[in-house]
Amino acid sequence: LGVLRIRGGDVAAPRDLAPGLSGGDLLGGWRFIVRDHALRRLFLNSILVGGLIMATAPLLAVLLLGQYHFPAWQYGLAFGIPALGGFVGARLSARLVTRYGRYRTMIVFGWLRSLFPLGLAFVQPGISGLLTVIIVEGLLVTCMGVFNPIYATERLQRTPANFTAQVLSTWSAAGKLLQAALMVVWGILASLTSPLAAITMSGVLLLATPLLLPNRRQLSAADPVGSAEAVRVA
């Protein structure tokens, strides 16, 4: 339904006849990200936030289903209802940018999405714990729904069309690798301490991730160094 609602035209990028992305393409994407100051900070912020949040997903299942004995239907509600927040946030994103500006909206919701996960440290058994998860996850997903379209737009606008595939592939690969690594690390932490303690550690570390967001000067800069490198590599 969302795709069907898209209006307007599109511009076809030059078609690459190469069979697929190679290690060199991923390295080229990495070089471009590193050379663009704003893009580099967005990259580090996004993969760290995603990694620390996903690291707690298996632990929440162990905590809620194993230790707190939530019925399966309550566990489904705990993560199904908050998913609606992503839709709400995405619908509000453009309106908030129009009213408050892209930079201010991105910074505010970049901070908020890193604050709310710490609320999971207060999850307890029973209905109160279920409501805590629903509220915390709902606020988190809503903030991500606002933030993600803004940062994705910034990423695309700072990347030349003929270099988009390399940058996005590098971004995706790095994010998935970090998520997998942090899941292992947090599984070990939970084994040494407890699932709730490991979840709390993730929430505390998330509080520092907004410091990686680019400032207004970096976002407004065209960053000719990165652009020149993209043209050279392409």
Q: How many Cβ atoms from other residues are within 10 Å of residue 151's Cβ?
A: 20
pLDDT classification of 120: cutoffs 50, 70, 90: very high
Supply the pLDDT for residue 24. 64
The model's pLDDT over 45-100, given as tens digits with 9 standing for 90+, comes to 999 999 999 999 999 999 999 999 999 999 999 999 999 999 999 999 999 999 99
User: Structure pTM?
Assistant: 0.83
CA distance readout (Å), 18 to 22, 25, 155, 207: 10, 11, 24, 42
Look at residues 86, 105, 88 and name the one whose alpha carbon lies nearest to residue 97.
Answer: 105
Residue-by-residue DSSP string for 157-200 = HTS-GGGHHHHHHHHHHHHHHHHHHHHHHHHHHHHHS-HHHHHH
For tokens 């707190």, the residue is 68
**Single-letter residue type at 213:** L
